[in-house]
Amino acid sequence: MSRRLFSTTILLSSILSSFSQNTIETDTLQSNYLLNTVVVSGTLTARTLKNTPVLTKVISGNDIRESGASTVLEALENFVPGVIFTPNAMGDNIQIAGLDNKYILILSDGERLVNERTENVNFSRLNVSDIKQIEIINGASSVLYGSNAIGAVINIISKDVAEPLTGSARARYSKYNTCVGDASVGFKINDFSSKTVFSAKNSDGYKLSSDASNYLLDPYSDYTVSQVFKYKPNEQWNIELKGTYYNNETWLIHKNQSRIDEDYTWGGKIQSTAFAKHVLTLSSNSDRYDEHLIFKLRNDSSTRANGSQYSTFRSLDAWNVTEKLQVVSGAELNLEGTFSYNQFGFDPGDKDASNWNLFTQADFKTETGLEALVGARYTNHSQFGAYLSPKISLMYRLDDFRFRGSISNGFKAPTLKEMYMNFPHRIGEDIPFYVIGNPDLVPEESWYKSLSAEYIGNKINASLTVHQNAIKNKINTIQQWNEAQNRTEMLYENVEDAKITGIDLSFQWTFLKHFHLRGGYSYADAIDKDTRLQLYGNSKHTGTMSLIFKQRHLPLFSSLESPYTLSLSGRVMSPRIFSTKNEETGIITDESTGNYFISNFVYSQQFPIYNNWKGDLQFGINNLLNYTNRDFLSNNPGRLYFVSIGVKF
């Protein structure tokens, strides 16, 4: 299989290298991109990628388009080794270095996305055509972001309006009547701007056989509409209001039901530079996710099954004390609530919690090229009380090299489900056990340590990171017999410690003017310190690679500016490990999957239409070699062809 991919790569390179006339210097453009990309997630202030003291991985909107990714999940898998997605009936399950959804914080424009009932974020809510870039920070980042920022922070940043009038529309079609469409329009008049974005998706689903209960992906239909208004009355003030509505209907054919999910997100912020050396920001954001079940056997009656809401109110001050010292400080109030009609026993309804926070982070630069980042967050939670999260990061600049080191603390507050659940786990008519919450749980705690070296050259960018993440008080269920209730219970307790030791390698190389090679490798040894087994579902070795050819003119039409791109990418993973230990007998059951490899090919062609109107045609093959290992690809039907066409102005 690897020989076939290698041969295909060599053939592609040989053919494309002949088209090297009348072209732009794409290596120079790529170099400028690597040097000048601005990121915000590591410090909450705008910093160029090469000068941020927190190592940040970036996936640009252009990267997403050229790779043919139709979802955020696909974009992350294409470019970030160590990321594993296994979508199933429980949602979009994500895992990074052995840590699952609960330890990975997902943000949209810096604001937390609320989880579903299964503690997963529904990535289908996000429109990839409106993404400016995705920023990824590995390790603990609770100083800036609070709970859940233990394994990684993924910040999805949307596009802004920079022109008087701009717009786009796109349609994509693939097998099983899977359709994706989106449209956007934005305008800017003096100090006021508006952006409206709409997207819709639907699919007939697919299954392994004619058995209606054997669907790999249930049929679905969804749409999202979002609106952003921005107003700048003068040079010192900025005002922003935004809102998003998402609706998804999934047909659960084997249950004779359909499930309707709705999400409402709204918020705003006011930013001021009226005070010398200070940038003050007041913001609020609320995200509500509801799940409804439609019972076809009950005259299409509907019931609200589950719901979650998370609201944040924040004040932030970025104080430029001197040219060498910047201090970011803030106060934050978070309110969360959850509803379930069947997970809280005979007391269905809402459960809620709150926490208020104070945090600060100082960034100090020296004349010798050394930069220090020191910070702390104080959290007071309505359930478990106070918690303090410190952090220190160092960066040393030496010509084109950056050397970074970090020690940071992260924490994860117990979820409302973990504290209050009282759920009978039914199998047919039987109830073999109950899942019981525990209001006395304490936060899970993480200490993350890392060392990294990065080289930023004119055509090459490469980084190597070694890291260790030690987690204690992990929350899991333990089995016990309840004499009073005469039943078996799975009770949530702080019962586990874990240690993840890893190495991450990434590089980007632009060569022969038009070729861009990008790759990454991640090693993660994720150990449960009590059983000495790998964390459930971990893959120790993962890697990604992509080869992209870019050309401004078609070979036979050198006078016509019609950029095109050819992309060949691959992803490889070592076996996932599912070892378990029987606590009563001590017997260890070792289970693992096979190796995993998947590759994609995409051809993208842009062409002029009229004046500033441009078209975009794309053809691609996902899962090029038709790899169908069900151990990894629980809902992948094999090779898929797709075509899309778009227009923008």
Residue 600: CATH number of its domain = 2.40.170.20
The CA distance from 162 to 589, in Å, is: 58
Other beta carbons less than 10 A from residue 324's beta carbon:
12
Q: Is the pLDDT of residue 298 over 70?
A: no
- pLDDT at position 585 is 65
CB 258 within 8 Å of CB 302? no
Helix, strand, or coil (residue 244): strand
pLDDT tens digits, residue range 68-90?
Answer: 999 999 999 999 998 888 766 66
Degrees (nearest 5) of the Cα angle 614, 124, 647? 10
pLDDT tens digits, residue range 577-589?
Answer: 887 766 666 677 7
Host domain of residue 501: 2-648
Half-sphere exposure in the Cβ direction for 531 (13 Å, CA): 22
- pLDDT at position 205 is 85
Question: What average pLDDT does range 368-375 have in this prediction?
Answer: 95
- pLDDT at position 59 is 95
- pLDDT at position 301 is 59
pLDDT tens digits, residue range 191-208?
Answer: 999 999 999 999 988 876
pLDDT tens digits, residue range 251-285?
Answer: 887 777 788 999 999 999 999 999 999 999 999 99
Backbone torsion region of residue 168, taken as left when φ is above 0, otherwise alpha when ψ lies between -120 and 50, otherwise beta? beta
The CA distance from 330 to 317, in Å, is: 6
The CA distance from 644 to 423, in Å, is: 45
3-class secondary structure per residue, 57-96: EEEEHHHHHHHCCCCHHHHHHHHCCCEEECCECCECCEEE
- Average pLDDT for the chain: 87
- pLDDT at position 634 is 55
Half-sphere exposure in the Cβ direction for 408 (13 Å, CA): 33
pLDDT tens digits, residue range 129-149?
Answer: 999 999 999 999 999 999 999
Instruction: Give 258 or 381, the one with higher predicted confidence.
Output: 381
Residues with Cβ within 8 Å of residue 64, at least 6 apart in sequence = 75, 128, 131, 134
pLDDT tens digits, residue range 514-568?
Answer: 999 999 999 999 998 888 888 888 899 999 999 999 988 776 556 667 889 999 9
- pLDDT at position 299 is 52
Can you read off the two tokens belonging to residue 273?
Answer: 């530079």
- pLDDT at position 571 is 93
What pTM was computed for the model?
Answer: 0.90
Per the structure, the count of domains in the chain is: 1
